[in-house]
Amino acid sequence: MATIQNITIDQDCDYTATLRKTHLATTSTSFTTAKVSATDGTCSITLTDAVTGALSIGRYVWDLTTTDSSGLITRRIEGRATVTPSVSR
C-alpha cells in the first residue's frame, strides 16, 4: 500500500519537497515537469518557477512508482496536489 502525501504547489514559484518513504528504491529520474531523486528512503521533488507558472490552478492527483528489474511496478507514494494561484502575475 502506498504512503499518502498531499502537496501544495504555489504557481510561479520554485517548489521543492522532501518526502519520506521506507523501502524506496534508490533511483534518479527526470520527468517533463519535475526532477525526482530518491536515496535512503527519502524522495526529493523539484519544480522550477517556469514549470509551476505553466500549471493550471486546481486539485490533481499524483504518484511515485518504482520498477524493479523484473518489470514489476509498485506505487510507493500517492496523494493530492493542489496548485494555488499566483497573485503577482
Indicate the residue type of 59.
R
pTM tops 0.75: no
The range of the structural domain enclosing residue 23 comes to 3-84
Residue 61 pLDDT: 87
| More confidently predicted of 45 and 6 | 6
Tell me whether residue 68 is in a domain: yes
Domain CATH for 31: 2.60.40.10
Tell me whether residue 23 is in a domain: yes
Residue 32 pLDDT: 42
24-80 residue pLDDT tens: 444 444 344 455 555 666 777 888 999 899 889 999 888 888 788 898 988 888 889
Centre a 10 Å sphere on the Cβ of residue 26 and count the other Cβ atoms it contains: 10
Mean pLDDT of 9-17: 92
Specify the number of domains making up the chain. 1
Tell me whether residue 89 is in a domain: no
